[in-house]
Structure 1
Amino acid sequence: MAADITVVIPARNAAATLDAALGSLTADRPVIREILLIDDSSDDCTAEAAMESARRHGLPLDVVSVRLGSAGAARNVGIERTSGTSIFFLDADDEVMPGSLSLLGSALAGRPGAGVAVGASIRRAKGRPDKLKTPHGYGPDKRQNTRRYLRNELWPIAMGSALVAGWATAGIRFPETIGLDEDTCYWAALLARAEIVAIDTPVLLYHHDEERMARRFITAPRKTFLTIARELNGLAAAGVERDALQWRKAWIAQRIARQLIKHGMLADAAGMMRAVKGHRELGRSWKAAQYLARIRFGRLAGIRPATGLAAPRRTLIVSFDPAYPPASGADLRTFGNAVAAAEIGPVRLASVRPAGSTQPPGRDIRTVSLTTEAEKLSHSLGWRRIKGENRIPRPALARLRALVRAFRPDTIVVESIPLFKLLQPLRPLTGQLILDMHNVESDLATQTPGDAASAVSPEIRQLERRAAAIVDRIWVCSKLDRERLKAITTHETPVDIVPNGIPRAKEMSETLPPPPGTADGFPVILFVGHLGYHPNVDAAERLARIILPRVREALPDARLVLAGRSPDPAVQALSELDGVVLIENPDDIGPLLSAAHLCIVPLRTGGGTRIKILEAMAAGVPVIATPLAAEGLDLTGGADLLLSDTDEGLADLTIALCSDPARVARLRVRAHGTAWSRFGPQAIRDAVRHGLGLEGASR
C-alpha cells in the first residue's frame, strides 16, 4: 500500500503524552504520507517535544502553529492542509495499535464506495477496567446509519479509530464553537454522505477522562446546550432526519442534567430537564422521571452545589509560618494551593506566627496573623507536645475561632501534623476539615539518624492515626506518601494527591529558554535549598567535598553554586573550597537557573516531593539526583532526569552528560514539558479542586 495517509493530531500542552502517541504510529510508517501536528497555543514546548519524538521514530512530522482554542478548529486546519488521499485523526493523548492504519486502509480500499473505515477501540478510564467497543450494526443504508448513530443505537466512533477518504470529507468540517459532541456532528455528516466499512479488530487505545468531561457539562450548561443544538440543527442541510436531531438534542439536555444533579446544581438541572420533557419519547422515559424526582427531593433537602461554578467556595488555610511571601518549600506549597483555591472563591491564609503587612497582589487572598510578637511566649495549647509538634499560643486559637465566625469558610485546610492540636477545636466550626500533610512525618522521622528520632516515630504515627479520624479529607504530595499513610492508618478517610507545583510559576516563562553559555565556566552546577535544613546541609557538603572534585578531574572549569537561606556554618565553610560559590538568601533564583547547566540534588534523607527539582525542570535545567531526591514525583529516570544513589555515580553521570550535547538537549525538552504539563498551574488547580471534593474527584 502506498504512503497516502495524512495523520492529523490536534495538540495543546501535550508534550508529556506526544511521544507515546507518535511512537504508536511507527509500525505504520510505510503507509503514512505526512503527520500534521496542529499546535494550538501550547506553552509547554509541545512542538519541540513532537519534533524530537518524530526524529527518533523516523516519522514525517510537520508542525502547524495556530491560535484557535478548540480541537475541532485544529482538526479543520489539518483537513485543509492534507496532501494524502485519506485522513486519520488522532488525539495527542491516545495510541493506535501497531498496523492499524494499514488495516483500516485495506478495509477502505476493499469496499468501493466506502468513505469511512472504522475499527474497534479500547477505552481506558481511571479506576475502571478497560472496555472494548466494537462497531456493529452499520448497513448499506446511509440514512439509517445516520439516524441510528444519533440515537445511540450504534457505538460512537472514537477519534483515532477511523480512516476517512479525502473525497468523503470534502466540504464537511468539525464544529469549532463547541467542545462537546463536535465529533458526533462530524461523523453524522460523513455517515449521511458515505458508506462505512467496520472491522472488529481493536485499532485504538484511548484515555477517557470522566472528570474533564463532567467539567465541560457543568460549565455554562445552558450556553453549552444551545451551542450544541445549533450545530445539530445544521445537519438538516446534509439530509439528516429532523426526528433524529430532536432526539439527540433532548438526550444531550438529559446528559447535562445528570451531571448538574450529581454536582448539586439543581436549578440548572431543572432548566435542562424542561428541554427533555419537551420531547415526546425521552420526556416520558423512566430516566427523565427519576431525574425530576432527584431534583425535587434535592431541593426539599436543601442540597447545595458541590462545585464552585455555581457559587464561590470560601477556603481558610492555616499554617504555622506565614505562607506569604513564600520562601521555603512549605511556604511555596501552601501559597500555591491558596492561589489554586482562589480560582474557586475567597481565601484566607492564617499563620500562627506573625505575618508581615504585605498582602498578595491581584488575588482574592488575604493573610491574617493569629499572634503578635508579644504573644509568642504566652500559654500554649495542650499539656504535652511531642517532638515535631509546633507550640501554639492560646491567643492563636481564640483569634482563629473569631476569624472562622467572620469569614464563614466552606473548608478549612490545616498545614500538616505539627498543627495537630488545632484539629479538634476546628472540627465543629466547618463543614469540611482537611489536613494537608506536606510529609508523612512518621516516615520522615525514621530517616533521621539517631535513637531519639526512632523513638519519636511511633508517637508521630499515633498522631497521624488520630488526625485521620478527625478530618474529612487528607492531602498528600504523591502516590508514595498516600500508600505510606494508608499503611499506618485504619480510618477510611479519603486521601487525595495534591502535588507540589512549580514554585513561582506565574513569574516564569513557559517557553523553553535557550541553554546558557560557557563564558563563566562549564558546567555550572546549581544546588538550591534551605541551607540550614539538615538533609540539605548533608547534600551540600557531599556536593562540594566529593562530587565536585570528581567532576573537576574531567572538567576542570566546573563550578558549584550553593544558594539558599540561613546557611549552616558547615555550609558557609564550603565557600572556601575551590570552585564553590555560596549565595546566601538570594532575592531571585531566576538568574541562577538561567546560568546553570545542570542541577545536582544528592539528598539522602527527607520527605514530601522536591519542589526545587520541579523549579529546575520548569526552567529547562537538566537534573541529576538520587532516587530519594526525586521520590514521589513519578518521574522517568533517563528521560525526565538522571538518577544514581551514589556520589560517584552522580559525578560520573554529570561528566557523561556534559560530553553529550544532544542528550542535554533532549533532557531539557523532556524535563521542561513534564514539569509544565504535570506540575504547572493548571495541574495544581485541578488537583486542589479535586482535593476540595469538587467535580466528583476519584481516589
Structure 2
Amino acid sequence: MAADITVIIPARNAAATIGAALASLVPDRSLIREILVIDDGSSDRTVAVAVECAQRHGLPMEAVSVRLDSAGAARNVGIERASGASIFFLDADDQVMPGSLSLLRAALERQSGAGLAIGASIRRTKDRPDKLKTPDGYSPDKRQNTRRYLRNELWPIAMGSALVAKWAAAHIRFPEAIHLDEDTCYWTALLARADAVTIEAPVLVYHHDEERMARRFITAPRGTFLAIARELDRLATAGVERDALQWRKAWIAQRIARQLIKHRMFADAAGMMRAVRAHKELGGSPKALQYRARIHIGRLTGIGAGASPTTHPAMPQRTLIICHDPPFPPTSGADLRNFGNAVAAAAFGPVCLASVAPWNGDAQPVDHDIHVTALTTDSQRQAASLGWRRIKGEARIPRPALTRLKTLVRDFRPDTIVVEGVALFKLLGPSRPLVRQLILDMHNVESDLADQLPRKSIWRPRFSGVRDLERRAAAICDRIWVCSTSDRERLRTLLSKPVPIDVVPNGIPRAEGIPTVLPQPAVSDGFPVILLVGHLGYEPNIDAAERLARTILPRIRARLPAAKLVLAGRSPKPPVRALAGLDGVGLVDSPDDVRPLLASAHLCVIPLAMGGGTRIKILEAMAWGIPVIASPLAVEGLDLTADEEVLLADSDEGLADMAVGLCSDRARMMRLRARAHDVVWGRFGPRAIRDAVRRGLGRNDAGS
C-alpha cells in the first residue's frame, strides 16, 4: 500500500503525552506520508519530545509552530498543509490501536464513494471503567445521518477514530472560535457531503477529562453557548435540517445548565434553561423540568451565595471592572486595556464592565461572557459629586454612580472588583465592604508620569501631588495591577505598606482581528509608509506627531522621496490637524477600523519623549509584522531587545537615519518583522494576558 495518509496532531503543552501518541502510529508507519504536529504555543518541551520520538521511530514528522489558542484552528493549519490523499486527526494525549490505519483505509477503499471511515473507540476516564463506543446506525441517507448525529442517536466520532478522504473534506474546516462541539460541527458537515463506512473493531483509546469539560462549560457560559449556536447555524448552508440544529442548541444549553447547577450558579443556569424552554421537545422533557425545579429551589434558599471563587479550579470567578470612560467598543489605550482585561477575565467567569461616564451604546460583546453598562446617565453628569473635596489627580464622580454601583454589586454578585486607576479613588473606599477582593489597576504610575511632563504643561497640575493618593489607594486594596516590571519596582518604592503587585501587561489590541501568521509585506505606491496611531488629543502623542512630521519625515524624504507619514487617531487637536498640510503627511481622524492602515504600513516610528500613551499601539504594529523604530521611553516596560526586536535611538535624527538604513536593507527588515511578530504574540498575545490576569485575580488553577 502507498504511503498516502497525512496525520494531523494539534498539541499544546503535551510533552508528557505526545511521545506515546506518536509511538502508537509506528505499526502503520508504511501508510503514513507525513505527520504534522501543530504546536499551538507550547511553553514546555512538546516539540523537542516529538522530534526525538519521531527520529527514534523513523516517523516522517514535521513540527509547525503557531499561536492560535484553538485546537480547531490548529487542525485547520494542518489541513491546509496536508499532501496525503486522506487525513487522520489524532489528539496529542490519545493513542491509536496497532493496525488501525490499515483497517480504516481498507474500509474506505472497499466502499465506492465513501468519504469517511469510522472505527470503534475506547473511552478512558480517571474514575470509571473503559467504555467501548461502536459506530452503529449509519445509513446511505446523508440527511438522516446528520440529523441522528446532531441528536446524539449515533455515538460521537472521536478524534483518532476516523479516516477522511481528502476530496470529501475539501473546503470543510473546523470552527475556530469555539472550544466545545467544534468537532461535532466538522463531522456533521462531512456527513452531509459524503457517505460513511464503519468498522466494529476499536481503533483508538482516548482519554476523557470530566473536570476539564466541566470547567469549559461553566467558564463564560453565555458566550460559550452563543458561539456554538452561531457555528451550528452555519451548518444550515450545508443542507443540515434546521430542526436538528435547533435540538442541538437546546441540548447544549441544557448540558451547560447541568454544570452550572452542579456548581450552584443558579442565575446563569436559569438563563441557559430559557434557551432550552424555547425548544418544544426538550423544553418539556422530565430532565428540563427537574433542572428548573433545582434552580428555583437553589435561588430561593440562596445556596451558593458567598462561595469562594478559588475553592476549586473549575469554579468561575465573577469580575466587575470599573473604569472612567466607556470601554466598548474599545478604540484607544485605556479602553483597549480595560476591554482586553475583561476578555481575559471572562475565561474564568462572567465579567461586567461599568463606566462612570455615561455609555450610549446598544450592542454588547457577543463573543465573550461580558456585559457592558454605565454607572451614570447623561442627565446625571452634573449631579453633586462624591466627597466634599477632590485631591489632585482625582476624577469627578457624580453621587448617582455610587448608588448604581451598589445596586450592580447586589445583582451581579462579583467575587472581585477591579478599579481603573487612582483617578477613581472615591469609589475604592465604598467598594471595600462590597466584595471579597478589591484590585486597583494602575495603567500608569501617575506620580512618575507627572515628573515626565514639562512644567508648562496644562496636564502637570492635574497629576502633581498624586503620590499621596497612590499610597492611600494601596492601603485600601488587596492587590494592585501594573503594566510592567519597571512600574512595579517604581511603585514598591512609593508604598508605605506591602501590597501584592501583579504585572498584567497591555495585550495586543484587537488580537482577534489580526492574522496570527506573519502577513506579507505591504504593497503601496509609496515607500516607506510610516504610521503613527494613538489618541491625538493626548499631549505626549501630540508632541510625538509634531516631531515626526516636522523633523523626522523631512530627513527621511531627503533620502527616500516617496516616504509618507500617516497620523491616525481620535480627537486630533489643532496642532495635529495643522500637520496634514505638510508634504507627505496624511491625517485619518478617528478611524473606524485601523486594520487597513496597519496592513498598508511599512514602518512605525515612535519618537515618544514623555508619558506612555503609544506603547499599546507598538504591540499592535508588531503583531501585524510592522518594524518599530522608537525612542527608548516609547518601549519602556515592554522588555524588547534592541536591534533584534525593535530599533532604538535617543534623537530625532537617529530615528530618521535608522528608518533610512532599515528601508535600504530589505533582508534585515524581513528579519526584524519576523522576530518582532514572533515575540509580541508570545509575550503579549491573548494567552499570555489571560495567564497574567489569572495570576492577578489570585487564582491558583494554573493552566486553566
**Separation in 1 of the partners of 2:381 and 2:36?**
55
TM-score, scaled to structure 2: 0.59
How far did residue 42 of structure 1 move?
Answer: 4.6
How far did residue 383 of structure 1 move?
Answer: 1.5
How far did residue 369 of structure 1 move?
Answer: 1.1
Amino acid at match of 1:362: D
The one of 433, 442, 445 aligned to 1:437:
442
Aligned residue runs from structure 1 range 226-625, under 5 A? 304=308, 306=310, 309-355=313-359, 356-450=361-455, 459-517=465-523, 519-607=524-612, 610-625=615-630
Structure 1 position 682 matched with structure 2 position 659:
no
User: Percent of counterpart pairs with the same letter?
Assistant: 59
How far did residue 650 of structure 1 move?
Answer: 0.1
How far did residue 696 of structure 1 move?
Answer: 7.0
Q: Partner of 1:296 in structure 2?
A: none
Structure 1 regions of 5+ residues with no counterpart? Answer: 1-9, 15-36, 47-68, 93-174, 183-221, 229-255, 257-266, 269-301
**Separation in 2 of the partners of 1:225 and 1:677?**
36
SS at match of 2:634: coil
Q: Note closer, same or farther for the CA distance 1:470–1:550 as it changes in structure 2 (3 Å cut).
A: same
Q: Which has the higher contact order (CA 8 A, sep 6+)?
A: 1
Question: CA offsets, 1:127-153, max 9 Å, x none?
Answer: xxxxxxxxxxxxxxxxxxxxxxxxxxx
**Separation in 1 of the partners of 2:652 and 2:126?**
57
How far did residue 310 of structure 1 move?
Answer: 2.3
**Separation in 2 of the partners of 1:497 and 1:444?**
18
Q: Note closer, same or farther for the CA distance 1:453–1:567 as it changes in structure 2 (3 Å cut).
A: closer
Q: Note if contact 2:603-2:629 (Cα within 8 Å) is conserved in structure 1.
A: yes
Amino acid at match of 1:640: E
Structure 1 position 671 matched with structure 2 position 668:
no
Amino acid at match of 1:656: G
Q: Partner of 1:135 in structure 2?
A: none
How far did residue 309 of structure 1 move?
Answer: 3.1
Q: Note if contact 1:500-1:679 (Cα within 8 Å) is conserved in structure 2.
A: yes
Q: Note if contact 2:503-2:692 (Cα within 8 Å) is conserved in structure 1.
A: yes
Amino acid at match of 1:506: E
SS at match of 1:325: coil
Q: Partner of 2:168 in structure 1?
A: none
**Separation in 2 of the partners of 1:463 and 1:223?**
54
The one of 629, 637, 658 aligned to 1:632:
637
SS at match of 2:635: coil
**Separation in 2 of the partners of 1:308 and 1:531?**
46
**Separation in 2 of the partners of 1:505 and 1:306?**
28
**Separation in 2 of the partners of 1:639 and 1:613?**
15
Q: Note closer, same or farther for the CA distance 1:689–1:423 as it changes in structure 2 (3 Å cut).
A: same
How far did residue 79 of structure 1 move?
Answer: 3.5
**Separation in 2 of the partners of 1:558 and 1:656?**
13
How far did residue 368 of structure 1 move?
Answer: 1.3
**Separation in 1 of the partners of 2:428 and 2:395?**
13
**Separation in 1 of the partners of 2:674 and 2:468?**
44
Structure 1 position 79 matched with structure 2 position 79:
no
Q: Note if contact 1:308-1:344 (Cα within 8 Å) is conserved in structure 2.
A: no
How far did residue 516 of structure 1 move?
Answer: 1.1
Question: CA offsets, 1:381-429, max 9 Å, x none?
Answer: 1112233311000000000011101111000000111101100000001
Q: Partner of 1:40 in structure 2?
A: 37
Question: CA offsets, 1:92-136, max 9 Å, x none?
Answer: 9xxxxxxxxxxxxxxxxxxxxxxxxxxxxxxxxxxxxxxxxxxxx
**Separation in 2 of the partners of 1:324 and 1:308?**
31
Amino acid at match of 2:595: G
Q: Note closer, same or farther for the CA distance 1:654–1:332 as it changes in structure 2 (3 Å cut).
A: same
**Separation in 2 of the partners of 1:520 and 1:308?**
57
Q: Note if contact 1:608-1:632 (Cα within 8 Å) is conserved in structure 2.
A: no
Question: CA offsets, 1:221-271, max 9 Å, x none?
Answer: x9568899xxxxxxxxxxxxxxxxxxxxxxxxxxx9xxxxxxxxxx99xxx
Q: Note if contact 2:540-2:613 (Cα within 8 Å) is conserved in structure 1.
A: no
SS at match of 1:389: coil
How far did residue 81 of structure 1 move?
Answer: 3.9
How many residues were matched structurally? 450
Q: Note closer, same or farther for the CA distance 1:304–1:429 as it changes in structure 2 (3 Å cut).
A: closer
Q: Note if contact 1:567-1:584 (Cα within 8 Å) is conserved in structure 2.
A: yes
**Separation in 1 of the partners of 2:586 and 2:614?**
26
**RMSD between superposed Cα atoms in Å:** 3.6
